[in-house]
Structure 1
Amino acid sequence: MQITKTIEEARRQVEICNACRYCESFCSVFPAINRERHFSDGDITQLANLCHNCRGCYYACQYTEPHEFKVNIPKAMAEVRQESWQDYAVPAMAAKTFHKSGVLMALAVIAALAFILLLFQNAAPAAGEAQAAGFYGVLPHNAMIAVFIPAFFLPIISIAISLRRYWKSIGGERLRLAHFTNALGSVAKLKDLSGGQGEGCNFEDEDRFSNARRWSHQAIMYGFLLCFASTSVATIMHYFFNMPAPYPLFSLPKLLGITGGVILSLGTLSMASLKLRADKNLGDARVWGGEMGFVLLLFVVSTTGLALYMLGSTGAMPALLAIHLASVLAFFLLTPFSKMIHGFYRLASLLRDAQIKAKL
């Protein structure tokens, strides 16, 4: 990652924080700051990806504007964090485009993929009979697999290259089990969104503490994991137990999928509401469209999945199937360039933080 004015400004502010130390107990960022005396570019980048943008430090700080120091750690960290996602992405131009126009890009990709899938359906013989046979009658199982395998593994390769670059830039070393235990525990609880005193963060309403953002994050994370588990279980049932879809309501794939879809839809709606109310000057305002695009993408995936379940036996099924599969494909294809990558980078930053603490 190149040395930029963004990193230089973040370093200036971090050095002020290191001298003050008032916010030492707020989250993982400030103890990490207070451990150091000098900050390399990699240090600043790692600190930025540790930050959850909860904004508690901003409202506690005595050096924010109009003070001449003009400290705004949430904004400085957000800008460095965003640059790291863009600069290490493969290809970087796709990430820059999504971060600038995420909503438009997400909708365009979904529309294009849905159109292609609808064309494929219309070209298939005996469309009426195919519809009566269910999802696989409209789009054969082997065709789905042929489409989704590249859409799943190509983004994984892109993310792996991106993470390797990032890990090298922040001085990452060989990992041990203890590092994963420490980092994953923090991820599971979203610990840093609870604030220094466990009262929550200040994201949506200035200096009022709230756990709404933490709950929204947890709903999105666990809703997504339940949906992913539903697909995984269905795959195992299909290939290992010769139990192809469709599945009844009280089957494991349906229970996991419906529960996850509802939680994910509610979580994304809540997150969108919070972002609309939040102060854009405490984040990277340049990429607000990309953040909303990512939330929209997850919302479309979950709600079209639920709609497909409810209306799967009606004439709307072929169109809904095309839209839902297109949104899922778009989600996977855009993952290396959307805010979804933050989860991977934050985990890497927590692992690096665990490595550093283990040496103390």
Structure 2
Amino acid sequence: MQALETLARDARALAQGEAVPVTGPEAEVARQLQICNACRYCEGFCAVFPAMTRRLEFPKADVHFLANLCHNCGACLHACQYAPPHDFAINIPKAMAQVRGQTYADYAWPPALGRLYQRNGLVLSVALALGLALFLLLAAALQGSLWADAPRGDFYRVFPHNLLVGIFLPVFAFVVFALGMGVRRFWRDIKPVTGGVDVAAPAAAEATHSVLRLKYLDGGHGEGCPNEDDAYTLSRRRFHHLSFYGFLLCFLATSVGTLYHYLFGWVAPYDLPSLPKLLGGAGGAMLVLGTAGLWRLNRRRDPAHGDRAQKPMDLGFIALLFLTALTGLLLWWGRGTPAMTMLLCAHLGAVMALFVTLPYGKFAHGVFRTAALLRFAAEKRLPNPVGLGSD
């Protein structure tokens, strides 16, 4: 309800030609960036500070752009002479994280689901995965296939192929549509304040390179992000890489399996050394390692590096990724045993819960951050605004 009221208020302000009012976290980011703009010690750390220097003021859309450009590495906090307990109380990672959390909910479609997941991410994620798994277990029990061997581990003897497609295709379509609606609104808001030009091929290539390498998790000096005890480490970047590319390999395995089924008539299950099995096994192992590492880092990270209120949402996404990968690997191991049906239900429940929550959790930040990096790469190629000196 609060999200709907906020959207209605903003729409009325725009219709009347008024400036959209800023929230408390947005005003705090603007205050801190005014001070940072006078100091500029961190100008070479990441994309946020060069983009900041192109601005003299920081209205709502600019704050949203810069907050999603921030990778929350924490390096600027550790380098800042005005960080708490200084009276200026500059903490860019925390201030940006609070605004990012707000944008996940503000740009979510429909907005009410974004608010719900923001407050109860971990509990909602695990409860949804368990609930869906129990529902599937009940369906299997009613068919009398809860504890029985299936020839060659045939999943479709438990749940017919067309039934699974009928369940997951609408969910996948909803995820794509909801994320598309959110990033469309985000792009529409930040494009005018980042030069208004379209993203040319060189800018797109630079942004893609930054995304795939997670360039701005290097701490601005190649040594990584500071964690507890001010120690710099590349662990966060490496665990993100394992999780990101593990997820892509798992998705690619499913896509290849779909092509096998519809294009060549090769019906699952597939055995080694088939491409779906190789991609899925490698991706699942990477995802388990990556998410376990991210969970550990998240639990141990200095509270000053982010927004404590977002921990449930962060941990909920990590938990669902971990459960999806782990149950997938266990299903691979137990495919030919009587436990296959229960493992299949657990895996399908985790996968469905993951996809249903994708538009409302930390997965959305990857989409918004990619959009922000594209706009940054386009904006940096423009001449400096009038009054800010020559390039």
Letter in 1 for 2:330: A
| 1:302 aligned partner | 325
> Is this contact kept in 1: 2:149–2:336, CA < 8 A?
no
In structure 2, the residue matched to 1:124 is 143
Percent identity between matched residues is 43
Q: Deviations over 1:76-118 (max 9, x none)?
A: 0000111011111012222222222211101111122112212
Q: Which moved more, 1:115-124 or 1:9-18?
A: 115-124
AA in 2 matched with 1:296: A
Q: Which runs of 5+ in 2 are unaligned?
A: 1-9, 11-20, 384-391
82-91 or 116-125, which deviates more: 116-125
Q: TM-score, normalised by structure 1?
A: 0.96
Q: In the aligned structure 1, how far is the partner of 2:95 from the partner of 2:380?
A: 24
User: Is residue 54–residue 193 contact of structure 1 (8 Å, CA) maintained in 2?
Assistant: yes
Matches within 5 A, 1:157-176: 157-171=177-191, 173=196, 174-176=198-200
Confirm or deny: 8 A CA contact 1:99 1:287 kept in the other structure. yes
The 3-state SS of whatever aligns with 2:73 is coil
Aligned length: 359
Residue of structure 1 in register with 2:176 after alignment: 156
Q: How do 1:1-360 residues align onto structure 2 when only pairs under 5 Å count? A: 3-124=22-143, 131-132=150-151, 134-171=154-191, 173=196, 174-202=198-226, 204-360=227-383
Contact 2:147–2:338 (CA under 8 A) maintained in structure 1: no
Note the C-alpha offset of 1:130: 7.9
| 1:357 Cα offset (Å) | 1.1
Counterpart Cα distance in 2 of 1:197 and 1:284: 24
Cα distance in 1, alignment partners of residues 319 and 178 from structure 2: 22
Q: Which amino acid aligns with 1:294?
A: F
1:313 and 1:130, CA in 2 relative to 1: closer, same or farther beyond 3 A?
closer
CA 1:128–1:193 in 2, change beyond 3 Å: closer, same or farther? closer
Q: For residue 168 of structure 2, what is the amino acid of its counterpart?
A: F
Amino acid of the structure 1 residue aligned with 2:320: L
Distance 1:151 1:200 in 2: 37
1:179 and 1:152 map into 2 onto residues whose CA distance is 30
The separation in 2 between residues aligned to 1:266 and 1:16, in whole angstroms, is 40
Preserved contact between residue 72 and residue 306 of structure 2 (Cα < 8 Å): yes
Q: Which moved more, 1:126-135 or 1:218-227?
A: 126-135
Partner of 1:3: helix, strand, or coil? coil
**Paired AA for residue 70 in structure 1:** A
Contact 1:199 1:210 in 2 (8 A): yes
CA displacement 1:292-350 (0-9 Å, x = unmatched): 11100100000000000001111111011011011111111100111000110000000
> Is the CA contact (8 Å cut-off) linking 2:240 and 2:290 kept in structure 1?
yes
Deviation at 1:128, TM superposition (A): 7.2
1:230–1:257: 8 Å Cα contact kept in structure 2? yes
Q: 1:14-60: per-residue Cα shift (whole Å, max 9, x none)?
A: 11111100001111111111122222211111110011111010010
Q: Report the CA distance shift for 1:19/1:82 in structure 2 as closer, same or farther (over 3 A).
A: same
Over the residues paired in the alignment, what is the CA RMSD in angstroms? 1.6
Structure 1 residue 126, shift from structure 2 partner: 6.8
For the residues of structure 2 that align with 1:128 and 1:100, how far apart are their CA atoms?
Answer: 38
CA distance in structure 2 between the partners assigned to 1:7 and 1:256 by the alignment: 42
Contact 2:147 2:341 in 1 (8 A): no
Answer whether contact 1:138 1:318 (CA < 8 A) is retained: yes
- Aligned mates of 1:151, 1:211 — CA distance in 2: 35
SS at match of 2:233: coil
Question: Once the 2 structures are TM-superposed, how far is the Cα of residue 274 of structure 1 from its aligned partner?
Answer: 0.4
